[in-house]
Amino acid sequence: METIRIAIPSTQPGGLDSEVGAHFGHCDCYTLVDVADGRVANIETLANMPHVHGGCMAPVNHLSQNGVQVLLAGGMGMRPLMGFAQVGITVYHGGDAASVKDAVDAFLSGTLVPFDRNQTCGGGCA
């Protein structure tokens, strides 16, 4: 049984019913969803790291150190997108989902697209 750990930027308090945070680096927290055999097996929340200009890799490394393999995000700059690629975290564009549950369901159904350079926001680290 393969388990995949997904992180979704979330509003407080986190969890499946929380809204998806509009931008990964400035979200309240992350909802971590472990998926096994295509089904949700575990849900946790993880506090976000302080995000200062130029400090894009802090949240990237924080998620990597917590076993995240997939990130569902609505917005990010080019630098963190490249950072996620460096640490082996695959990023999908999930910004249209109203809730964390909706984002996870969209990922599990295969309807989310990989985040690409054209979807990044300006400033590199906003």
- Give the CATH number of the domain where residue 48 resides: 3.30.420.130
Residues of the chain with pLDDT under 50: 123-126
In a domain, 37, yes or no: yes
* Domain assignment of residue 125, yes or no: no
Q: Has residue 126 been placed in a domain?
A: no
Provide the whole-model pTM: 0.89
What residue has token string 């802090």? 58
Does the residue 16 lie in any domain? yes
φ, ψ dihedrals at 9, nearest 5°: -60, 135
In angstroms, the CA 62 to CA 72 distance is 15
pLDDT in tens, 63-77: 999 999 999 988 787
Q: How many domains does the chain have?
A: 1
Question: Hey, what's the torsion of the CAs at 85, 115, 11, 7, to 10 degrees?
Answer: -40
Query: Checking phi first, is residue 123 left (phi over 0); if not, alpha (psi -120 to 50) or beta?
Result: left
Residues contacting 57, CB < 8 A, separation 6+: 79, 80, 83
In a domain, 63, yes or no: yes
Write out pLDDT tens, residues 92-111. Answer: 988 678 899 999 999 999 99
The SS3 assignment for 32 reads strand
Domain residue limits at 114? 3-119
